[in-house]
Structure 1
């Protein structure tokens, strides 16, 4: 019987009180930790907000706990936008989600910064429940502007090495989610498919945890998916909200890993799915793939940043309840 694990891809909305408090801090932009007294206030506010979203996950019964990435104003680009050798350019839109972020322009060597590791160190959760979240190397390279390496392949290698260095500094964690929506939105193409898979491999190898490459905004094109299957990861994530049929086709045509991440909850729609609906969707996938998965991560298809806080918390609860239903059924 498939083990069902309730989790999320992270990138949560700020609690309402934190939005108000942080906006009142003079000169503060989320993601910029300023030196001095004001910086201490910002750090303390984020610490309390982190505690709130960790508590929300625990209360919802999630099996994996993420840090929440509340500082990630620039979403997936955050690990670069806070780097000393990266300048943040003008405002750009990533993908087609009506949210705007700063353009990270890489002007020097990408060395590990320890920024994400410090966030994970601050999470009050057992290592056996902790889930780390990072952008995948292909998506991070796709969202950045290279002003230093001068070659697309070299730049992807540099981003992969940078992320691997970040992972090496992580505390003990049970799962690592690498978020790779660019494999769908801006697929690598014939000459880069294999290289993108190798870059993912490099980051995954830096972690001793189970590694999930979560893709979303649709389904990965066939050839890109076939190369992704070559990556030595434990699971691939599928967006069954945006394009269930194409996701099923990839699984049935090219196979998948023994574990899978099922994006069954809509990360952008305020309509809250019931636990029963999520379980029905799990069965729908299992019946149509004819695959006996060792483990299925039940998750939202995208980040949950786009939701109001109350709807975000309701969706956490639905995911936790869906996994708990499986235990009752067993």
Structure 2
């Protein structure tokens, strides 16, 4: 029988109070932030915000709890932005969104930092630990967002990013699930040759953990060859953005099949319109009907993208909808 699991790709909006407090604190401590020292007050504000967003997920009834990635001012580029071998330079537009990040320029050999592991360790103190989900940028997306001044070759640079992320994952506490966010697989699809290397890089990162690994592309559907290569990686599930593109995602599933588990991005992570739980449940049935199968081992119900862009109150409502939709899907399947 299929298990329906409610979750998200993380990268949450800050609570309104934290947004105001941190803006003031960061303005006063700008020099310290450049040197990498967040300071006690900023650290305390993030700790309080982390506790709040984990509490919100728990109260909503989500099956997987994420740390929230509230410190990730550079969004997916964050794990590189805090590395000693990386210089952060000019402001770059984040894909086609009205959000920006500091360009991470790799100037020396990459080494794991333990930064994300420390966030997860803090999260384990606030959860049972058994339902904790880690979130990382996928290696191809991080490769795509970064600039290389050290390795000199795309293949070598992608391999170095994979080594770096695998090293980070090896420092993680025990987690139930790992979501690798790979919007660049859609937005900046790898060319021939690089698509196979991207799959190998994802495989390397996934192999560094015993957790269930979900690769979540978004803002569209994967090109056929990219999807076919991705299925060669030793991952548990591929995510599909059914908000941005239904037809091509269904085609990929029908033509090339799927992993034993699947992640369905059925709630809009960037639109303030809040879906009905019954509508999400119906969309799950529609996808399963298009494929003619109902025997996935696990179906993750999630927003199609991160919820960073949503007003805080709307983000909370989206979590509640996903949790209820998963419960409804379980009842319907039974």
The two structures share one fold, judged by TM-score above 0.5? yes
Distance 1:172 1:65 in 2: 13
Residue in 2 that maps onto 1:191? 193
Runs of 4+ aligned residues of structure 1 deviating over 4 Å after TM superposition are 28-34
In the TM superposition, residue 159 of structure 1 has moved relative to its aligned partner by 0.3
The answer to whether 1:257 aligns with 2:259 is yes
TM-score (norm. length: structure 1): 0.97
**Cross-structure match for 2:313:** 310
* Alpha-carbon distance in structure 1 between the residues aligned to 2:33 and 2:166: 21
Provide the residue aligned with 2:56 in structure 1: 56
Structural mapping, 1:125-204, within 5 Å: 125-204=127-206
Taking only aligned residues, the RMSD between alpha carbons, in angstroms, comes to: 1.4
Mapped to 2, the partners of 1:130 and 1:24 lie a distance apart of 31
Residues 34 and 138 of structure 1, relative CA distance in 2, 3 Å threshold: closer
Cα distance, 1:58–1:29 mapped onto 2, change above 3 Å: farther
Q: 1:33 to 1:327 in 2, by over 3 A?
A: farther
For the residue of structure 2 that corresponds to 1:24, the secondary structure is helix
Q: How many matched pairs?
A: 328
Matches of 2:235 and 2:77 in 1, distance apart? 22
Aligned to 1:95, the other structure's residue is in SS state coil
What's 2:242 paired with? 240
Task: Provide the secondary structure at the position in 2 that maps to 1:122.
Answer: helix
C-alpha displacement of 1:32: 6.5
Q: What secondary structure does 1:171 align onto?
A: coil
Q: CA deviation at 1:33?
A: 8.2
The one of 303, 325, 328 aligned to 1:325: 328
Note if contact 1:30-1:73 (Cα within 8 Å) is conserved in structure 2: no
Matches of 2:243 and 2:307, distance apart in 1: 14
User: For the structure 1 residues 78 and 190, does the alpha-carbon distance in structure 2 shift closer, same or farther, using more than 3 Å as the test?
Assistant: same
Equivalent residue, structure 2, for 1:83: 83
| Cα shift readout 1:289-309 (whole Å, capped 9, x = no counterpart) | 113211100000000000000
Q: After superposition, give the CA deviation of every residue in 1:191-249 in whole Å (9 maximum; x if it has no partner).
A: 21111100000000001000000010100000111100100100000000000110000
Partner of 1:300: 303
2:32–2:39 CA contact under 8 A, matched in 1:
no
Distance 1:228 1:31, change over 3 A: farther
Flag the 1:265–1:147 CA change in 2: closer, same or farther, 3 A: same
Cα shift readout 1:126-146 (whole Å, capped 9, x = no counterpart): 221000000000000000000
Q: Residues 31 and 99 from structure 1, CA distance in 2 versus in 1: closer, same or farther, beyond 3 angstroms? A: farther
Q: Is the 8 A contact 1:30 1:72 kept in 2?
A: no
Q: Which moved more, 1:302-311 or 1:38-47?
A: 38-47
d(CA) in 2 for partners of 1:146, 1:226: 28
Whole-angstrom CA distance in 2 between matches of 1:267 and 1:288: 23
Q: Distance in 2 between matches of 1:34 and 1:192?
A: 34
1:32–1:233: structure 2 CA closer, same or farther, 3 Å change rule?
A: farther
Give, in whole Å, the separation in 2 of the partners of 1:78 and 1:252. Answer: 35
Q: What residue in structure 1 maps to residue 103 of structure 2? A: 103
Change (3 A) 1:33 1:42: farther
User: What CA deviation, in whole Å up to 9, does each residue of 1:94-153 have, x standing for no partner?
Assistant: 211221111000011110100000000001112210000000000000000001111100
Q: Which residue of 1 aligns with 2:14?
A: 14
TM-score relative to the length of structure 2: 0.96
The residue matched to 1:51 in structure 2 has which SS? helix
What do the CA deviations read for 1:10-61 (whole angstroms, capped 9, x no partner)?
Answer: 00000000011111111349986854xx701111100000000000100110
